[in-house]
Amino acid sequence: MTQKNERHLSSALRAMVERERHRSVAPMATDRIVRLARGHGLVGQERTDPFVEGILGWARPVVAICLTILVLLVAYNVRLSNELPGMDTPTARVLGLPSATVALAFDPDFEEH
Partner 1 sequence: MASAAVIAPVRTAALRAVGAQRGSVAAERAGSRDDSALVEQVVRGDEHAFRRIVDGHIDAVSRTVTGLLGPSAEVDDVVQDVFIKLHANLATFRGDATLRTFVTRMAINRSLDVLRQRKRRRWMQSWGLGSELDAAGAVAPAHTPLEQQDLDERLRKALDTLPEKQRTVVVLRLVEGLSTEETAQVLDIKYGTVLSRLKRATDQLRAVLSANGTLEMLEDK
Q: Looking at beta carbons only, is 38 or 60 nearer to partner 1?
A: 38
Q: How far apart are CA 92 and CA 100, in angstroms?
A: 9
Residue 83 interacts with partner 1 (CB under 8 A)? no
User: Which parts of 37-76 interact with partner 1 (CB under 8 A)?
Assistant: 37-38, 40, 42-47
Closest distance to partner 1 from the beta carbon of 59 (Å) = 21
Tally of residues, the chain: 113
Residue 13 interacts with partner 1 (CB under 8 A)? yes
User: 33: closest CA among 19, 21, 46, 43?
Assistant: 43
Judged by CB under 8 A, the stretch of 33-41, 71-79, 81-89, 94-102 that binds partner 1 is 33-41
The sign of the dihedral angle between the CA atoms of 78, 84, 89, 92 is: negative
Binding site for partner 1 (CB under 8 A): 1, 5-6, 8-10, 12-14, 16-21, 23-26, 29-30, 32-34, 36-38, 40, 42-47
